[in-house]
Amino acid sequence: MVLAELALSLALSAGAGAVDVPLPPPPVPRPAARKPDLAPRAGVARALRLAVPEIKVVGEVPRRQLAVLEQALLVEVRKVEGVSAVGVSEIKEMLSFEYQRQMLGCQADEACLAEIAGALGVDELVSTQLGATEAGFALTVKRIDMRSTRVVGEAQQRLKRTSGGEELLGAVGPLVASLFPDRALRPGRTRGVAREVALRLNPPPLPRWVFYVTSGVAVAAAAGGTTYGLMANDSRSQYNALLRRSATEQVPGSQLASLRDQASSRRSAAGLLFGVAATFAVAGGVEAFFTDWHDYRGAVSVSPAGAVVSVRF
């Protein structure tokens, strides 16, 4: 306003030859600064990096069952969308030998697990405890937030014990689902452990070489029986030809008797070999139902130091 009044007074005093002074533009208000939207988008869960240490066992559990259960639990956790999990073998590889000796030998309590998680740089731990009695199992799974060192999820299931241990695998899917109620499965994945995995707990008792040896004996016996059968037919043909010649000329009887005995012995040998071939063929057919065709027996390497799962499922 002051500048406007000054310009007007100058114009009136200068007369007709004065130059008009333009008024300054009005101030433009600045838009208010927007605060950044720090809230996560709806429906998008935060990515988690998890560690799945060894199962703490109270009681007696076969090493093969324990190793397969650990691998099945790790696979089931990895099915959850937005979750990246490392298992026992990866933990042992990532930690130094000295740290393994100090840390992996400790009890699976919160303090020990927190130190392991800090060394691995994970967000959470999936701690599992398996209590075993002669009557059944008590399987407990916990999610431990390593930032706040508190349990953010827990699930437990009691199971009646059977001789095979398949009940443990059947509980893996529901327990993991209870731990992650707010997260869906990855596309194309299904909840629960496949039935074929149970074969790794109690694989067929026979290795493949037993079936191959039995089948080989059957084939060899059949081939030998065929050979002796052809030889017996040849001796019989020679005998018949020599017998026809004896009608017109003199033929030694000892030669005829030798050919007859030769054909008979060869025919007996052929029959015996065919019987052996049939017996071993039947045995091979039965063994086929008890043969470990997929190397399930070798999928879990059990040693005095522990059990290592090398199979993928």
- pLDDT (tens digit, 9 = 90+) per residue, 248-276? 788 788 888 888 899 999 999 999 999 99
The residue type found at 299 is A
Are 114 and 79 in contact, with CB atoms under 8 Å apart?
no
Q: What integer pLDDT is reported at residue 204 of this predicted model? A: 86
Which residue's structure tokens are 């059944």? Answer: 136
User: Average pLDDT of 5-12?
Assistant: 41
Q: What integer pLDDT is reported at residue 216 of this predicted model? A: 96
User: Average pLDDT of 28-51?
Assistant: 56
Q: What integer pLDDT is reported at residue 246 of this predicted model? A: 79
Give the Cα separation of 309 and 87 in Å (integer): 11
User: Average pLDDT of 61-80?
Assistant: 90
Residue 39 pLDDT > 80: no
- Lowest average pLDDT, out of 165-169, 173-177, 309-313, goes to 309-313
Share of the chain above pLDDT 70, in %: 73
Share of the chain above pLDDT 90, in %: 40
Segment 276-300, tens digit of pLDDT: 999 999 999 999 999 988 888 777 7
- Angstrom CA distances, 233 to 222, 237, 245, stand at 16, 6, 18
Q: What integer pLDDT is reported at residue 15 of this predicted model? A: 45
Give the Cα separation of 301 and 71 in Å (integer): 13
Residue 139 pLDDT > 80: yes
Q: What integer pLDDT is reported at residue 120 of this predicted model? A: 72
Quick one: CA torsion of 172, 90, 111, 78, rounded to 10 degrees?
-30
Q: What integer pLDDT is reported at residue 197 of this predicted model? A: 82
User: Average pLDDT of 140-162?
Assistant: 90
Are 183 and 299 in contact, with CB atoms under 8 Å apart?
no
Residue 36 pLDDT > 60: no
Residue 16 pLDDT > 60: no
Fold classification of 48-203+299-309 is: Rossmann fold (3.40.50)
Max CA pair span of the chain: 171
User: Average pLDDT of 28-53?
Assistant: 58
Q: What integer pLDDT is reported at residue 14 of this predicted model? A: 43
Residue 3 pLDDT > 50: no
Q: What integer pLDDT is reported at residue 273 of this predicted model? A: 96
Give the Cα separation of 84 and 142 in Å (integer): 17
Banded model confidence at residue 9, pLDDT cuts 50, 70, 90: very low
Residue 110 pLDDT > 80: no
